[in-house]
Copies of this chain bind each other. A is one copy, B any other.
Amino acid sequence: MDLSFTEEEEAFRQEVRDWIPAAMPEDMLETARGAGDFTPEDSATWHKILYEKGWVAPHWPEELGGTGWDAARRFIFAEEMELAGAPPLSVFGLGMVGPLIVSYGTDAQKERFLPKILSAEEFWCQGYSEPGSGSDLASLRTTAEDAGDHFIVNGQKTWTSFAQYADWIFCLVRTDPSVKKQAGITFLLIDLKSPGVQVKPMMTLGHTPAFCDTFFDNVKVPKENVVGGINQGWTMAKALLGHERTLLAMIGPSRNVLQKLKRIAAHKTANGRPMLEDPVWRARIARLEMRFRAHLMVSYRALADQQKGKMPGPETSILKLVGTKLIQELTELAMEVMGESSLTWYNEDVCLPVEESIGPYFCYERAATIYGGSNEIQRNVIAKMILQLPSS
């Protein structure tokens, strides 16, 4: 066992650490040091900077625009980005549909879509859930009717996060209603500028327009936009879900909230002294940090497996479960530490220093235990797949 990084890896870390502040525009550096409330435009700017450096898609194959880094370097890179508070990149293209096209797409799809994902010319969003199909995703009703060389798509997708900023959407649609529900689903790429598509942003609990309803009214979609074959959509969805799980470990966000929590507690006072020096508050923060360490080690185990080219072990199945709970507990504690100041929205600079705001982010993370397969569904799956408990 060896939990340290090699000298070469540490040198790489230093290179990344030095590069970030040199490459990032001054106003974004300020946001990174402060509230971290980047706009989608900031993310797009940072995406392009990384693209020009060749660092935008570390986990893609080198020949398709990846960096050729091994798992450790990819991890170090991600860790340094998080530590620097860099803007998060939109995950739907780079992290989801891109890798899926890499693995299952046709050559034509690779040529058409991958370069524009890398260059940020086209942004993507995800069309899975529907009003009646949440946890029971396979019950989806959006239909794609065969019309020769194209499909006619009708239906409604909900929870299409950031669709208002996207150019394309990848969808699960029903292409065969006559078979078992999982068997009749197809993974389809749809241009959001197609006639008949309507995107309606919804407000979230935290008063940010993070997601949308997206409506399809007789939308024409060419058949070459199918990924993985007609009626193979469920296999595609499962391939993506496995991938999402490590993303959802929330290592970076948890680290950021922990830092923020301590920064606030270091100067906010209770009973006449900084809360970080009060034994009760100090202990509450320390408890979550200790749990974060244990969770981090589970992630490291997954990383070490990847580094060796092995499939991640069964323990990675808990990453989403533990990580999303942890980020919620961290934001809950931050709300408590803020006291009366937790009553505010970040855009109310009358109330408190903007870098101390937590309310909207707290609200935003309430969704973490719901999206990507709710934690209840995660437990169902782990009980059956990993613990092999009997079915009812």
Contacts and interface: CB of A to CB of B under 8 A. Distances in A.
A116 to B, nearest CB: 48
A390 interface: no
Contacts of A278: 279
A279 B280 CA distance: 7
Contacts of A392: 392
A381 B283 CA distance: 38
Contacts of A283: 280
Contacts of A280: 279-280, 283
A380 to B, nearest CB: 14
Chain A interface secondary structure, helix, strand, loop or mixed?
Answer: helix
Residue among A278, A280, A392 having the largest count of chain B Cβ atoms under 10 Å: A280
6 contacts: A278-B279, A279-B279, A279-B280, A280-B280, A280-B283, A392-B392
A280 B279 CA distance: 7
Copies of this chain, complex-wide, total: 2
A115 B283 CA distance: 58
A237 B278 CA distance: 53
Interface in A242-293: 278-280, 283
Interface of A: 278-280, 283, 392
A209 to B, nearest CB: 35
A392 B279 CA distance: 48
A278 to B, nearest CB: 8
A272 to B, nearest CB: 14
3 tightest CB-CB pairs across the interface, nearest first?
A: A279-B279, A279-B280, A280-B283
Of the candidates A278, A279, A392, the one having the most CB atoms from chain B within 10 angstroms of its own CB is A279
A119 B103 CA distance: 82
A278 B278 CA distance: 12
A123 to B, nearest CB: 42
Nearest to A271: B279
A329 to B, nearest CB: 17
Nearest to A392: B392
A383 to B, nearest CB: 15
A302 B279 CA distance: 39
A102 to B, nearest CB: 42
A283 B281 CA distance: 11
A283 B279 CA distance: 11
A303 to B, nearest CB: 35
Nearest to A282: B280
Nearest to A283: B280
A320 to B, nearest CB: 26
Contacts of A279: 278-280
A269 to B, nearest CB: 16
A392 B283 CA distance: 43
A279 B392 CA distance: 48
A283 B278 CA distance: 13
Nearest to A278: B279
A374 to B, nearest CB: 18
A95 to B, nearest CB: 37
